[in-house]
Structure 1
Amino acid sequence: MNRVVVVGASAAGLTAAETLRREGYAGTITLIGAEADAPYDRPPLSKQILSSRWEVDRLALRTADQLAALDLDLRLGVLATALDLASRTLLLQSGDRLRYDGLIVATGVRPRRLPGQGAHVLRTAADAVNLRRRLVPGTRLVVVGAGFLGSEAAAVARELSCDVTMLEPAPVPLAHAVGADIGRVLSLAHVEHGVDLRTGVTVSAVADGGVRLADGTLVPADAVLVAIGSLPNTEWLEGSGLTIDDGVVCDEYSAAAPGVYAAGDVARWHNPLFGRAMRIEHRTNAAEQGMAAARNLLNPSARRPFAPVPYFWSDQYDMKIHAYGHLYGHDAVQVVDGDLTTRRFIAAYHKADRLVGVLAVGMPPKTIRPWRQTIAAGARSH
């Protein structure tokens, strides 16, 4: 291979490029990023950046010298608009055509939006800076969506003395992921910190002065944050021949086609450890899959399945939340340590007779780490 192209210059794409070099690849690596900024970290956007504890310059994943050492053909502020598998060619927004011998797709996701204008989303550094300018004491912030991103932003806004209303269509926030009992426990933290949490409500549009509910009610706001999930950035791949279904569909090696791999939030791959397709929007998974995709691309005769135990974390108020495994679709939840009422506990998630995940709240990270191997061992035994 003379040229490997990596489309997407965030955690997955950068890690893929670094792995190519670490594994001895000496050819051209073209790293294409839609944003003009050098690769940066996203989890701090809803925490340290939004709260102003950090400035944006602390987000950089690598220094300028570290990037230079990779000897990349780095193209920032550039969009890939089409892919031709037959000729192994990318079309760029500039009209340029770029041939490749190997391709890694790491184009990530973008926020879902609501009808209407003026709402904030939280995906880029600019998004976070624009929202934090509005978070002054007394600001009425409406957060649409009580998932982890919306919950983190709501917690920061309360710490900044904003008046926060959080709107969630489900009866219990996060119940689909962590179970109803634990969802209620996590939700109670918001209520105790003064958030006006309204569940079972549907927002139809962002309106002047707030958001409009499906029943016509206007919830007034000075600022609105929409945190209702994401969409994978795959439109540019339409007609390419790749299979697109809630992401770039890949096999257990993260391969989407011969010589084409996907990694990070945009990849939907078969995780053999759990025996199912997954698309995971977590920082750790992005880096791990970027490494795996690069290694498999370089070593087609010795590919290894990408079979991780997923991991994510969240910070809300004084709560540290950590989880391993795949909690969605569980059959049963059991508290194995601590107590829900104190918000210091470890809960184990089972599907059929198998441990598939574990979640810890308010516990030291070291107490949950051994569970990762337990989940992996249990999966292999099946």
Structure 2
Amino acid sequence: MDRLDLRRIVRVARSGDTLRAWRMFEQAAGSHAEDDYDLLNLRGRLLKDRAVAAQGDDRSRLLAESRDAYLSAARRRRATYPLINAAAIERLAGNFARAREFAAATIALLDQGDHEPDTAYWLAATRAEAALHTGPVETAADLLRDAIALAPDAWEDHASTLRQFRLLLGCVGADDRWLEQLAPPAALHFSGLIHFDPTIGGSGRDLADRLDRLRCGFAYGALAAGADIVIAELLVDRGAELHLVLPARPDIFRRQSVMPFGDHWGERYDRLLARSASVEVVAQGQDVSLAAVEFAAQVAMGSAICQARALEAQAVALRLVDQAAGDAQSSAASDQAWERLGLPLIRVAAPRSSAPVATIPHAEITAIVAAPPARGTTGA
């Protein structure tokens, strides 16, 4: 089996599409699944995912098959990965003595040092997970903090570990809220007033303070003059990845949603466009339509949710709203859908500037946007 196929299956599994990942594995692995070290580990992982979503006899059977796959892999190599996962399976099955036995064997292998090589993060995180089975949670928590400090930007690796810890703590009803302190930075969807001047009053300072508290690492939105550009600049200055979702080609969007409000906005738009991590265009018309603007917002919101779910992080929406509208200001349908998922939506009131009014043409676009549920509503 090609290693690229293996990585593709892992990505699908991490996205939460367990059954699709299993079908891909069955089609690709064939008869090699019983004697290949990497395939045995992947088989164990996918069976575990299926077991978490199952109940009764099916759950017990899938857990046993997962454990057997990991133990078979452990017999082929002196490696910590299959051993620590065998411990996890036993804990999920309620066999705590066996879980401690496999965890202790993992710690012994780590102490001896004659095991398969791995990154410093994964070796330290494995020790932390083993400690969760053999001692108090506080010891495991300290070890996990030390592991994350070894690779502070390895967000996907952290996410896998945090997901595993939540699963192991949850199966015994233990408190997992302390894991929030170790989560990767939030994924933010931003939007707001096109008529916004941060120099009016203390609105710019208030916005900067709010972003400091949110600790966002990934930002999704458009880049219209006003609030969009101001928020994006603040985020980029704070080290966030900027992912743009535009309702028209960048040149058309610049001409119709940026330049009518002043040349200085165009210069700032260009700088941010050059610094963005990605640019997605959702419509190819010759005008920026209101329908395309709403469609782009929905795509950006879904992207923020997917990124947060993939990294075991929080998805947050930030809206810079018209101060004069007060409580009478209504939410867009997409914002209401966001809040129905139980996700935080923060509204920051700010005064409008006296910028000239630009006319955005109407057009018709019909779209269906799907996003995964908020973290915690389904198994990872």
Q: Same fold (TM over 0.5)?
A: no
**Greater strand fraction, Structure 1 or Structure 2:** 1
TM-score (norm 2): 0.25
Higher-Rg structure is: 2
TM-score (norm 1): 0.25
Larger RCO: Structure 1 or Structure 2 (Cα < 8 Å, ≥ 6 residues apart)? 1
**Greater helix fraction, Structure 1 or Structure 2:** 2
